[in-house]
Structure formats: structure tokens, C-alpha cells
Structure 1
Amino acid sequence: MPKVETFDREEILGKVIQLFHRKGYNATSMQDLVDATGLNRSSIYNSFGSKMELYQESLKVYKQMAEKAIQKYLINSDTPIETIRSIFSLNPKYTNNGCMLSNCTTEMANKDQKIKSFLIHNREGMEELFESLVAKGQNEGSINTNRTAKEYALYLFTSLQGFRITGIIIDEQKDLESIVNTILSVLE
């Protein structure tokens, strides 16, 4: 008979996300996971599988949290530019660790095909979102038509990735805002 989990899975995943976000995959040991969760190794393996499977699950949960934040911006923003600016403001500077997905891209995209596929799917979703926002802005006249919505979407996604990584080493909020203003000025 399989054992029943006697812990709050969401709470454990939250702790695991914080750990992987802070240390990355490679620098996180099984002992780190045991220490962070309070679970023993066998409970971690029985409930989540391997360290890689736990990492993949934590990436999925992190992505879902980011998507929920983006949905709030989509609902509350008045213009496409405002929504795009808000997405850039999701740079999780409050942790000094950057974006877990961007960090994963730099650490793991060339090392694991499942991770790379996950990241490609994330990129495609973000590009589709940016493309729809740009197209809406172009139709309204608030975004120029010097490039296609698809070209701007690629530019915005690439800029967002760079911004999230750069945000780890820039402490001044005004400097981060200046970077976003420069990125978005291309759309004017």
C-alpha cells in the first residue's frame, strides 16, 4: 500500500522554489532539500521523485505564479504599453535572485532537453502575449508599426530575459526604470 503524504505539498514546494531560486539546480544538494523542507530523503524521493523531477515541478509552480501575476496586470492595465511595463516590473528584485526561469535558462537550457523544452514553451507563451499586446497597441496607434508585432514580441522577450538577469546586479530602482524606459522607447 502506498504511503500517504503527511505534509502540505504546496508549502514544501514553496520552500523548494525558494531554495532552487536562491542557489540554482547545480548548487542545491539533496541535503539542502532535506534541510529546507524538513523531510527526510526517502520522503522527498517517494513524493517527488528525483532531484531533477522536483526541480521541474518547482519550475512549473513558479511559472504558474508568474502567470497569475501577469493576469492581474492584464486585467488592471489600461493600455498595452502599461501592461508590458508591468510585466517588466515583475523582475523579482526583492529576492536579489532574479527570475527563476531566466536563471534556469542560463544554468540548465543546454544541459537537459526536458528543461529546454519547458523553457521553449515558456518563451513561446510570452512571445504570444507580447505579440498580442503589440498588435493591440499598433491597432490603437500607441505602438509604432516600424516592425511587425512578431518582431517586437521577439525583441521584448529577449529584452525581458536580459533585464531579469541584469536586475540581479543592479540595485538602483531608478536605473532599472531607466532600462525599461529605453527598451519601451523602441515601441513609441
Structure 2
Amino acid sequence: MARNIEFNEELAIQKAMQVFWKKGYNATSLRDLTDAMQINSSSLYNTIGDKQELFVRCVQLYTNLRKQDWEKRLASERSPFSTLVDYIHEAVNIIINGEFSCMAVKSAFEVATNDQRVKEILVQDDQRAYQFLHDLIKNAMDQGEISNDEDPALLADYFNSTWTGWYESYILHKDPIKIKRMAEYFIKQLSK
């Protein structure tokens, strides 16, 4: 009797996430996914469902990984302002050097307008991003690293939307210096 190969669903979803992240939803074929996951299409349909269901699960995984990263940063012993500056620099590096850039932003523009489940996941992710930034900024204010004259809610919203604008600007202009200058300007404004 032939032995069944055990299917690791979590690992398969991680592999599929990498494909969606790199190519986007529309450019990813079922063949791309099954090749990356090392399964056949019937196994995909029997265990996870169709391409859309797999994508929803991949977006959920991606946003869960971001949440874990934010929680780790907030729990760090480093100064809140240093953590925020590092986060801004990492965001810039992801935009200009990252092979895949931000899956949440890509998914918001490509899929969320037509898929309510993806939109709900991304709204929740956006709210967590806002809360992470708000808490980090508020902690920096409490430690005197950012002026108490600032509004942490406004700064968190501003950075969240600004970061998406940097991403769009880089897609259109491919000008890394422009993105770096905008980030440094934002950091400078925070540290006044």
C-alpha cells in the first residue's frame, strides 16, 4: 500500500503567500500556486478551496505576521522614538529595495475594492497599524522624545497614509532619493 504524503497546510499557505506577494492576485495563476505549494490542483481544492479562498488566507497570514512584528517592537526595551525611526527607515527600505514591497498595500489596490473579506482583513490590519504607531508616538511623547504639543492620533494617521503615498510615488517614479528625503523630513518634523 502506498503511503500518503502528509500535507502541511500552514507551510503551503506560506509558500502561496510568497507567490501572491510577488506577483499580485491577478497575475498569479493556479499553476503558479500549486507549483510553489508542491501540490496538485485537486489537493488545493480539497483542502483549502479555490484561488480566492487561498488568497484570503494568505492575506490573513500576512497581516498576522505584521501584528506580531508590531507587538514585538512595542515590547522592546529600546526608546520609542528610536523604534519609530527604525520602523520608518525599514519602511523606506522595503519600498525601494524590497522584492515584494507591501502585500497589504498591493492587496488594497488590487483586490479589496471588489472583495469584502479581503477589505475587512485589511481594515483590521490598518487599525492595528494605526494603534501601533499611536502607541509608539504616545510613548515617545511620554518620554519627552516628541513634543507634547503633537497629537499622537493625527501623527499615526498621517504616517499611515504618508507611507502608502511613498509606496505609490516609488512605483510611479522609481526615485529612491525622493522617498528617503520625505522620510527624513517626517522624522525631522517629529523630533522638533
TM-score band w.r.t. shorter chain: 0.7 to 0.9
The aligned length equals 184
Name the counterpart of 1:131. 134
Letter in 2 for 1:78: R
| Correspondences of 1:13-162 after superposition (within 5 Å) | 13-76=13-76, 78-88=78-88, 89-90=90-91, 92=94, 95-162=98-165
Q: TM-score, normalised by structure 1?
A: 0.84
CA drift of 1:100 comes to 0.6
Q: Distance in 2 between matches of 1:77 and 1:163?
A: 29
CA drift of 1:146 comes to 4.0
On the 8 A contact 1:77/1:83 being kept in 2, the answer is no
Q: TM-score, normalised by structure 2?
A: 0.82
- The percentage of aligned residue pairs carrying the same residue is 26
After superposition, the CA RMSD in angstroms is 2.4
- Return structure 1 stretches of 4+ with deviation > 6 angstroms: none
Offset from partner CA, 1:37-68 (integer Å, 9 cap, x none):
22111111111112111111111111222233
Offset from partner CA, 1:110-146 (integer Å, 9 cap, x none):
1111111111111111111111111222222211244
CA drift of 1:20 comes to 0.1
CA drift of 1:160 comes to 2.3
C-alpha change, 1:73 and 1:165, in structure 2 (3 Å) is farther
Report the 3-state secondary structure (helix = DSSP H, G, I; strand = E; otherwise coil) of the residue aligned with 1:141.
coil
Q: Distance in 1 between matches of 2:46 and 2:126?
A: 31
For structure 1, which runs of at least 5 residues remain unmatched after alignment?
none
Q: Distance in 2 between matches of 1:69 and 1:46?
A: 32
CA drift of 1:10 comes to 2.6
Letter in 2 for 1:148: D
Q: Name which of structure 1's ranges 48-57 and 137-146 shifts more when overlaid on structure 2.
A: 137-146
